[in-house]
Amino acid sequence: MKILSLFDGISCGMVALERAGIQVERYVAYEIDKNAIKISQKNYPKIEHYGDVTTADFTQYKDFDLLIGGSPCQDLCSMGSHEGLKGKKSCLFFEYERALKEVQPKFFLLENNASMTKENRDIISRYMGCEPVLINSADFSAQIRKRLYWTNIPIREYEPKNMLIQDILQNDIPRECVTGKLIRYVFSGEYAGRKIEKTTRNSIRTPEQKSRTIGTCSYDISSNTGVCFKIGDEYYKPNQIEFERLQTLPDGYTSVLPIKKAVFGIGNGWTVDVIAHIFKGLNM
């Protein structure tokens, strides 16, 4: 198949295609984040990389089979600007819609955050010509991540996996201990009632739980998407491979970058096993 990927990020779509057993003749990626491109090139040097979707001539891809993309959600999601599809970033959905018209691929897949308003969801559905399917990454991974998928690919039924944090822990590589920060921000009472106390407390998960949604700032335990594991009597940040595993990426996939920059790309990416399950419908 020939694939056109918009907002390609770290090329989770390519990983998913491989995992689904789809043969790829060409994979053209539009992405502007240099660190994301660095991860993609390290893993898939044959991907054809281009930049800004707003300047692209999509008519050159009229013979392509599949259009994929997860347009920016910053103005759509519950923690975003709430400007919706009029927002500076989320309005880029209309570039995906333009590509869909100009390419007219056999198949398409669009992903976005499930916390958007019904109004915005209905607008996207009208342009896409179909209703979205809600899939929680918790059914495929150790991470809770509710996302909407607009697609004309038949989605097979599946049995949810009961994966927990304990299933993705890596015991032979150290992770950063943050017990001191937890004592100060959460348990000392010094920050009681302040935002940093609430956000840091909300980051804590035990191995018997699922992780909260991985975001671009999840390496910062005091951010709105911070992630912290309580293992025994201590508190730790996940290490880089554990972050990769939460998104069902291959171990070491983001090793070309230091952990904080890697987590930014991981948080912007897709849960690979969810996308691979959808792509299996291409073989039906």
* DSSP states along the chain: -EEEEES-TTTHHHHHHHHTT---SEEEEE---HHHHHHHHHH-TTSEEE--GGG--GGGGTT-SEEEE----TTTSTTS-S-GGGSTTGGGHHHHHHHHHHH--SEEEEEEETTS-HHHHHHHHHHHTS--EEEEGGGTSSB--EEEEEESSPPPP-PPP---GGGT--SSS---B-HHHHIIIIISSTTTTSHHHHHHHHTEE-TTSPBPPP-TTTTSTTSTT--EEEETTEEE---HHHHHHHTTPPTTTTTTS-HHHHHHHHHHS--HHHHHHHHGGGG-
Q: Give CA–CA dist 203/218, Å, rounded.
A: 9
217 catalytically annotated: no
Task: Find the helix packing angle between 259-268 and 34-43, rounded to 10°.
Answer: 90
Please identify which of the residues 73, 177, 217, 228 carries the catalytic annotation. 73
Residue 153's contacts (CB-CB under 8 Å, 6 or more residues apart) are 107, 109, 278, 279, 281, 282
Q: State the catalytic residues.
A: 73
